[in-house]
Amino acid sequence: MSNNNFEQEVSQARYEGLRIQEGDVLEVIITAMDDLAVKPFNKTSIVQTGEEGGSGAMRLGNNQYQVTTDGYIAFPTLGNIYCKGMTKQQLKVEFEARLKQYLVDPVVTIQLVNFNISVLGDVGSPGQKTSLTERLNIFQALALAGDMRSSANRTNVKLIRYSEESGKDLTYQLDLSEASIVNSPYYYLQQNDILYIEPDKNAQIAANTTNPNRTLFIQTLGVVLGLITFVIAIAK
């Protein structure tokens, strides 16, 4: 990074948390002083059938709930709870407010189980990556993908993120050569973000020039042309 104040820039990076999206799998655990009173609010493993004509089914673990396309999770005793667009903290407050009519001092723990991002392009191991932590920044995502290759263009990294407001994917250009990237609102990734690392054009040209397959093709073409010339000469 070219900025000399890297430490200062990093110290200002802010993480504002994830927003819950459809398809997210949330683990919700309810605890309280009375273990018996808590039981109706926790469940064992179930099989949840895919929606909208999807084939197969998804097995959810203990106390795991998948957010529907309408933005709800179906919770024991409490019924359907709308959570799409909420942070985990907001959903926690919502749960605690509802549970207080049944439990004394309920404690709610919420965890996102399937935090997925995709890293494509000029990296060591492109593809979809699942992170064990929700607080994932761009550099951690690149580490999951085996880092950028030396031929990658670090000044024009594309971030593709779905926007609830516009109802479509939006693309943002990021310059990873500047330390100020840590102050970008896109420094921390969201669920289902896509990072595309494009190759540097000059590096591509150099790679094509030294590509052994290209050399082999030229050699093969020369042999074929030589044989054609030889056959024509004999025919005469």
Same fold, 25-112 and 115-201: no
- Alpha helix stretches (DSSP H) within 21-179: 35-38, 88-99, 138-144
**pLDDT, tens digit (0-9, with 9 covering 90-100), for 32-73:** 998 889 988 987 644 555 444 444 456 778 899 999 999 999
- Spatial separation of the C-alpha atoms in residues 70 and 83, rounded to whole Å: 10
Q: Enumerate the domain spans of the chain.
A: 25-112, 115-201
> What does pLDDT average to over the chain?
82
Task: Record the pTM.
Answer: 0.68
Q: How many CB atoms lie within 10 A of CB 122?
A: 20
- Spatial separation of the C-alpha atoms in residues 4 and 80, rounded to whole Å: 51
CATH of domain 115-201: 3.10.560.10
CATH of domain 25-112: 3.30.1950
- Of 2-11, 61-70, 168-177, 187-196, the one with minimum mean pLDDT is 2-11
- Spatial separation of the C-alpha atoms in residues 14 and 7, rounded to whole Å: 14
